Amino acid sequence: MSQLGLYATALPGSSSLQGPPSLDEFVDYLISETTDTTSLVAQLKASSIKDTRDSFLTAKLSNGKDPLSVLDPERHTIGYLYILCARLHQNSQVPPSTEAIEEFCRRFNPQHARLLPEKVTTLAKGIVGLARKLENPKLALRPLHGLVTRYPISPAHLTTLHPIFLTLCVATQHFTAALPVLETPITTIDMSLSDLTYNDNLVYHYAGGVALGALKRWREAEEFLEICASSPAQVPAAVQMEASKKLVLIQLILYGKTVPPPKYTNPVLQRLLKSSPYGAFIKSYPQQRSQLLKLIEKDIETFTNEKNLGLVRQTIDRAPRWLIRKLTATYLTMGLADIAKEVGIETDDEVRAIILNMIDSGDINASISADGTVTFADQLPQISKADVDRLLKQAQEQSRMLLEMERSMNSNKDYLNKVSHSSLISVDVNTVMR
Amino acid sequence: MDVDTVDENETPAESQKAAGKKPLSLPVDDAHPLDLDAITSSYTDRSIVERLVHITAACPAVAVQALQLALDQVFKMRDTNLYFSVRSAYEQCQGNSQGQLPPITEIAPLDQKWIDETAAKNAAEKNKLEVELKTYSSNMIKESIRMAHRDLANYYRAVGDQASALKHYTKSREFCTTSHHVLDMCFSIIELLIEHRNYAHMSTYVFKADAALDATASTARPTGPTAPANSSANRVLTEREKVQSKLDAGLGLSHFGQGQYEKAANFFVKVGPIKSLGTWIGTVIAPGDIAVYGTLCALATFPRPQISSQILNNDGFGAFIEQEPYVRELIEAYMSNRFKDVLGILEKYSTRHAVDPHLGAHIQILIKLITNRALVLFFQPFVSIRLERMSTAFGWTVDELEQHVVALIQSGEIKARVDRQNKILKAKETDQRSVLYARVMKSGEHMASANRKLLLRLRLYVQAPLCNSR
């Protein structure tokens, strides 16, 4: 369909118009109240001559005004989006002002925007590109945050915006900015909402894990990295390998040992990990700090290159705590000096500080007497009624969700086809569905 | 021939490495008796020499005596390599003794004449046997070929060439016509393997022998007419009984050599009456050995009721124990919780155990296992006990005991904790109720998160492009 055709059908009374469409007409048309969004999107999509359209979209209005100042981001989301995208294009001579971008991201109409998922992705990438061009990547943070929180149907939906935003947060080290997004775990994926690719899921969870790890929220970081490492893959991706490495280090910080990965994790990853310096490190953890430091000496370069040295150092710093914890299983009482010897720490004071810290954080249950004797007591798990109730509620929620899933699965045509074929019972799927 | 020399010299060195702490020279005195006469009288042929070689190398106190006895025996045989290994064992011991022992040239000068004569005789016989084998092979007489292979194998075995012996034994298998022949072949191989301590291969031939035995039984039965069928079946049965003991002993040794002590113990206690071992007594294994190996393995791995039922109240095994009275003392001390005596007996016979070619490599591990078990058993009835009291019961210092106990707690064998300041061992008390609650909470949370992750995974699968299929 030609440019002319588009506007001939779209704009009443302009059928006689010759030549390329002008921005004025386009904007006028957008402003006219009668426009139906769905049909507009359909027409815009149908016109495939991108370049010419983009070039006319970057122009100014005939009266010299910026079209963005005429349009309202909330009411004219579609048009605004098109113009922004065109002007954010790599070689664009007239980049939009940051205020306009922020304004749009704060106020756009999510329902309209969802009709154009590719454009939203382009916009997000364009914003990052622009910020980089201005040598101030942080500029992109706020608009992207607006996009990522407002665009998805629910926070549990994954979109292409997620990995872009998270990578930016990690790159600019604004980890806290990512927290509101990371708080809700991703459980839903809707391809009609966003043209996701395989890597988006991996990158989002990897970057999320890195951000949480940097904030020392180990437990959540572990979950994110595990999701990344255990995502379905016939051939594991490099980012999954990196995630596995960080995952085991974080597990050492959290539990003092590694946790076996879920069964569905690609076995190649585990094998590779075992033969890397990380495998050797895990095997000998926890030990006295001096020994661990000696152990990693020759691999320090690898750790540095892979940007994991910080994590490795943190794991080593925590090694004495795991050793002390082991002692509580063996001994009832011990002198501070004895502990220092077993754990490989030079001064009693440092041991005392560590033990006090562990008692405070609830890692161990112990007391130190005046003469430096540490008495370990059993750890009594304190469970209140509220805890049990909370857990019960969670469980009920889960089972309700699962039941719902099962019901929808039972009415899924593909599934029924498969079941009836595999069991060799010729059931007419259509009858079943009716 | 070269292969053999290397083998003979290396095996003791290897076993020393395996035992780790085994000292280079073992004491032989009143506290650690070692009766050379008993050894020479309970073994024959090659076994004596093998054992004496070990003793010569490891015990300076009796080295001269052992050397003489070994040489006496070697001269009756035809293995010149064995002669050299006996001598080198003494030289090694003499080298370590810092001049306390006379050099070998003074007590036993090299007998070149015997070597030459034996070598000539051996070569002649080898030639004869090889010619025989060739003739039979060209004549295609199956039975004769088998016998020629067997004779040649026996010859190689006598001169100590294990690899060639094994080769000819296995070759003879192709020419076996009855299962009896197969059985013979298997036993020859097992004997050979035991002699050379090749434990890993033994079980294969034991199973082959077992299959051959089944075949004999099944062919013997239907051939006989109805009336004497009973008696022939009986004959087969006793036949089986006879070889079964050998098979059990063989399997026991095989497992023992590979460090599977519990399986080994099970087979050793099953071995039938002493007589049934027949030709194996002395040449392959002494009845006393079965008692020692079986008991040590059992003490190290069996729970107490099994020890009393399978060792103490087992008449068959009792007969073996009679051969080594100290073994009974050992078991009784163990069963009545006199652990200090147990350790004392083990220490007293440490030299005897260490020079045993089969036991030497394992004795340290076995002692450790028995000690650990004893400690666990000793602590079982207590809620708390002073380490001091425990240490006197075992005859150790408090520090030594503490080390042992701590190791056991860390490996999870004793559920207790040490009060280090007051030197008390206290059993752990757990509040099952709260532990249960904690576990339920934990697994609930775990399930919930696993569920969530699985759902995401499911959705990734459903959306085909998200699941990489590069």
In terms of pLDDT, which residue wins out, A426 or A142?
A142
Backbone φ, ψ for residue B78 (5° rounding): -130, 20
Q: Over 60: is that where the pLDDT of A345 sits? A: yes
- Min mean pLDDT across A210-214, A299-303, B28-32 is at B28-32
* Best B387, B421, B434 residue to mutate vs chain A (most A CBs within 10 Å): B421
Scanning A90-160, the segments in alpha helix (DSSP H) are 98-107, 110-113, 117-133, 141-150
Give residue B163's pLDDT: 82
| Chain A CA closest to residue B426 | A332
Under 8 Å between Cβ of A9 and A61: no
Give residue B192's pLDDT: 84
A–B: how many Cβ contacts below 8 A?
Answer: 117
- Looking at the fold, whether B41 and B60 belong to one and the same domain comes out as yes
User: Is A182 part of any domain?
Assistant: yes
Under 8 Å between Cβ of B279 and B228: no
Of A209, A220, A215, the residue nearest A245 (C-alpha): A209
User: Is B233 part of any domain?
Assistant: no
Give A341's contacts in chain B (Cβ within 8 Å). none
Scanning B140-198, the segments in alpha helix (DSSP H) are 142-159, 162-173, 179-195
Q: For A291-353, what is the HEC assignment?
A: HHHHHHHHHHHHHHHCCCHHHHHHHHHHHHHHHHHHHHHHEEEEEHHHHHHHHCCCCHHHHHH
- Looking at the fold, whether B34 and B80 belong to one and the same domain comes out as yes
Contact across the interface for B468 and A237, Cβ inside 8 Å? yes
User: Is A55 part of any domain?
Assistant: yes
In terms of pLDDT, which residue wins out, B182 or A22?
B182
Q: For residue A2, name the pLDDT band (cuts at 50, 70, 90).
A: very low
Give residue B16's pLDDT: 38
- Under an 8 Å CB criterion, which residues of B touch A? 406, 409-410, 417-422, 424, 426, 428-431, 434-435, 437-438, 441, 444-445, 447-453, 455-457, 459-463, 465-470
**Mean model confidence pLDDT for chain B:** 78
Highest mean predicted confidence (pLDDT) among A57-66, A150-159, B165-174, B461-470: A150-159
* Best A183, A327, A332 residue to mutate vs chain B (most B CBs within 10 Å): A332
Which residues, 6+ apart, have CB-to-CB distance to A153 below 8 Å?
A114, A190, A193
What is the tens place of the pLDDT at every residue in A308-322?
Answer: 888 888 888 888 888
User: Is B30 part of any domain?
Assistant: yes
Residue A76 tokens read as 């004219």
CA distance A399 to chain B (A): 10
| Chain A CA closest to residue B466 | A198
* ipTM surpasses 0.90: no
User: Is A295 part of any domain?
Assistant: no
Give residue A427's pLDDT: 47
Q: Over 90: is that where the pLDDT of A394 sits? A: no
- Min mean pLDDT across A275-284, B64-73, B221-230, B299-308 is at B221-230
The structure's pTM equals 0.67
- Looking at the fold, whether B34 and B108 belong to one and the same domain comes out as yes
- Looking at the fold, whether B108 and B126 belong to one and the same domain comes out as no
What is the tens place of the pLDDT at every residue in B367-425?
Answer: 888 888 888 888 888 888 888 888 888 888 888 888 888 888 888 888 888 888 888 88
User: Is B197 part of any domain?
Assistant: yes
Q: For A177-280, list the strands marked E by DSSP.
A: 188-189
CA distance B436 to chain A (A): 10
Q: For residue A221, name the pLDDT band (cuts at 50, 70, 90).
A: very high
Give residue B13's pLDDT: 37
- What distance in Å separates the CA atoms of residue B344 and residue B281, rounded to the nearest whole number? 29
Mean pLDDT of A81-102: 75
**Mean model confidence pLDDT for chain A:** 79
Contact across the interface for A395 and B448, Cβ inside 8 Å? yes
Q: Which of B217, B240, B256 is the last residue of a domain?
A: B217
Q: For residue A157, name the pLDDT band (cuts at 50, 70, 90).
A: confident
Per the structure, the complete domain to which residue A79 belongs is given by 51-195
Provide the residue count of chain A.
434
Under 8 Å between Cβ of B249 and B285: yes
- What distance in Å separates the CA atoms of residue B322 and residue B319, rounded to the nearest whole number? 5
User: Is B232 part of any domain?
Assistant: no
Give residue B51's pLDDT: 81
- Min mean pLDDT across B256-265, B308-317, B383-392 is at B308-317
Please, which residues bridge with residue A373 across strands?
A335
Give residue B249's pLDDT: 85
Query: Which run of H or E residues covers position B202?
Result: helix B199-223
Mean pLDDT of A120-129: 86
Contact across the interface for B420 and A376, Cβ inside 8 Å? no
User: Is B314 part of any domain?
Assistant: no
Backbone φ, ψ for residue A377 (5° rounding): -115, 160
What is the tens place of the pLDDT at every residue in A172-204?
Answer: 888 888 888 888 888 888 777 777 888 888 899
User: Is A44 part of any domain?
Assistant: no
Q: Over 50: is that where the pLDDT of B21 sits? A: no
Q: Over 90: is that where the pLDDT of B24 sits? A: no
What is the tens place of the pLDDT at every residue in A230-240?
Answer: 888 778 888 89
Give residue A14's pLDDT: 38
Under 8 Å between Cβ of B246 and B187: yes
Which residues, 6+ apart, have CB-to-CB distance to A246 below 8 Å?
A209, A210, A213, A221, A225, A308, A311
Give residue A208's pLDDT: 92
Give residue B75's pLDDT: 80
- What distance in Å separates the CA atoms of residue A183 and residue A162, rounded to the nearest whole number? 13
Give A203's contacts in chain B (Cβ within 8 Å). none
Give residue B234's pLDDT: 58
Helix (H, G, I), strand (E, B), or coil: what is residue B373?
helix
- Looking at the fold, whether B150 and B175 belong to one and the same domain comes out as yes
Give residue B61's pLDDT: 76
Mean pLDDT of A45-58: 56
* Best B387, B405, B417 residue to mutate vs chain A (most A CBs within 10 Å): B417
Contact across the interface for B434 and A187, Cβ inside 8 Å? no
Q: For residue A58, name the pLDDT band (cuts at 50, 70, 90).
A: low
Q: Over 90: is that where the pLDDT of A207 sits? A: yes
User: Is A267 part of any domain?
Assistant: no
User: Is A161 part of any domain?
Assistant: yes
- Min mean pLDDT across A33-37, A71-75, A360-364, B221-225 is at B221-225
Contact across the interface for B417 and A331, Cβ inside 8 Å? yes
User: Is A136 part of any domain?
Assistant: yes
Q: For residue A285, name the pLDDT band (cuts at 50, 70, 90).
A: confident
- What's the number of domains chain B is made of? 3
- What's the number of domains chain A is made of? 1
Give B465's contacts in chain A (Cβ within 8 Å). 191, 196-198
Under 8 Å between Cβ of B69 and B36: yes
Q: Over 60: is that where the pLDDT of B19 sits? A: no
Q: For residue A205, name the pLDDT band (cuts at 50, 70, 90).
A: very high
User: Is B401 part of any domain?
Assistant: yes
- Looking at the fold, whether B69 and B148 belong to one and the same domain comes out as no
User: Is B339 part of any domain?
Assistant: no
Contact across the interface for B448 and A331, Cβ inside 8 Å? no
- What distance in Å separates the CA atoms of residue A230 and residue A208, rounded to the nearest whole number? 15
Per the structure, the complete domain to which residue B60 belongs is given by 19-113
Q: Which of B217, B235, B250 is the last residue of a domain?
A: B217
Give residue B156's pLDDT: 86
Q: For residue A212, name the pLDDT band (cuts at 50, 70, 90).
A: very high
Could you tell me the CATH number of the domain that includes residue B409?
Answer: 1.10.10.10
Mean pLDDT of A237-248: 90
Under 8 Å between Cβ of A186 and B460: no
User: Is B170 part of any domain?
Assistant: yes
Could you tell me the CATH number of the domain that includes residue B136?
Answer: 1.25.40
Q: Which of B441, B449, B451 minimises the CB distance to A387?
A: B441
Give residue A49's pLDDT: 44
Share of chain A above pLDDT 70, in %: 81
Q: For residue A90, name the pLDDT band (cuts at 50, 70, 90).
A: low
Give residue A54's pLDDT: 57
User: Is A152 part of any domain?
Assistant: yes
- Looking at the fold, whether B126 and B198 belong to one and the same domain comes out as yes
- What distance in Å separates the CA atoms of residue A245 and residue B163, rounded to the nearest whole number? 50
Give residue B10's pLDDT: 36
Give residue A56's pLDDT: 65
What is the tens place of the pLDDT at every residue in B210-259?
Answer: 888 777 766 655 444 444 445 555 555 566 777 788 888 888 888 888 88
